Structure 1
Amino acid sequence: INACVLVSIASFALVLTLLVYATGNLGVALGAHLGNNLTGFLLISHQQSYNSFALFNARPLEGPGWTGFDAVLIAAIGIVSSLLTALLLLHPRSPLKVGAATWRGGGPV
């Protein structure tokens, strides 16, 4: 399970790196990371120490009873959600599209 969680985290980090490269702005990655953390803390929690904050409590990832299929499914969900984040933020027709920062002259950038 630990390796699959690591794959999920690595895919999210890769998507955030892609967002910074595509936009030239670190704020996009910080905003996506904030949204990810708020979802993890306030909506669905897999950690027993944060269960009091979350709306839904799931089985702890560090607990027993996880199968190999469950671990692969967790990694796949993480990868798909990371790719959907990139699609929503980079697709030209998305209402959440972020663009590259442009310098207009004048004061400091």
Structure 2
Amino acid sequence: MISKPSSGGLVYSTDSGRMCPACRHPVASCVCTSAKARPAGDGIVRVSRETKGRAGKGVTLVKGLALDDAALVALGKQLKAACGSGGTVKDGVIEVQGDHCERVMALLQAQGHKVKRAGG
């Protein structure tokens, strides 16, 4: 009889947040190879505005930054403070609440990033 690997297991812990199902460590400190690395981009940071799935509320999205998670969180904090609004970092994308595309683009260009406006 062939046994199937268990698909169950701990996925979230109130102490550590999301857990890797393979190694059962927090996703931030995952030690297995199942953690997916973000694909290398073309070196261009794309800034766009999106309202899809947010009840009509707009957010400014910053994609394509070739930074690790800690640096993304720090940059997200800088951008949110400069715009005077909230936001988050999810899956390598910085989200700033509100329509701040021009301000975010100016700040990123001042830091030496090559920036393009994406979308409408």
TM-score normalised over the length of structure 2: 0.27
- The structure with the largest helix share of the pair is 1
- The structure with the largest strand share of the pair is 2
Which structure exhibits the higher relative contact order, with contacts defined as CA atoms closer than 8 Å and separated by 6 or more residues? 1
TM-score normalised over the length of structure 1: 0.29
